[in-house]
Amino acid sequence: GAVVSQHPSWVICKSGTSVKIECRSLDFQATTMFWYRQFPKQSLMLMATSNEGSKATYEQGVEKDKFLINHASLTLSTLTVTSAHPEDSSFYICSARPRGISNQPQHFGDGTRLSIL
């Protein structure tokens, strides 16, 4: 159980393109999902917490207008990188925690490798 699906798994696109990444919890509902970014040889850095039916909470230094998050249902959150540039190239990973159960761990999607040319 607790499967999180992330799509697409990799994206290569030109500078200035907007890219949408989907994160789905397949066998559980998640009121909260999390978006991380990981640069090579570094640890995961939390970008934002996605809350179903409300605005996302962004970490300090993360531009909310550049990284648009929508959490329209209990099983789907999307991250849109708007007008992506080469410095946005990274490994983006989402996670979700089962709804209503305290202290349950976060389960991660397989990640999206984004390369901006």
Contact residue for other proteins among 56, 109, 114, 116 (CB under 8 A): 109
Residue 58 in contact with other proteins, rule: CB under 8 A:
no
Q: By the 8 A CB rule, do 96 and 106 touch?
A: yes
Q: Single out the residue of 56, 76, 84, 93 in contact with other proteins (rule: CB under 8 A).
A: 93
Report the nearest approach of other proteins to the CB of residue 45 (Å).
Answer: 8
Classify burial at 48, counting beta carbons within 10 Å of its beta carbon; exposed 0-12, middle 13-18, buried 19 or more: buried
* DSSP states of 85-101: -GGG-EEEEEEEE-TT-
Which residues form the interface with other proteins (CB under 8 A)?
6, 32, 34, 42-44, 46, 49, 91, 93, 97, 103, 105-111, 113
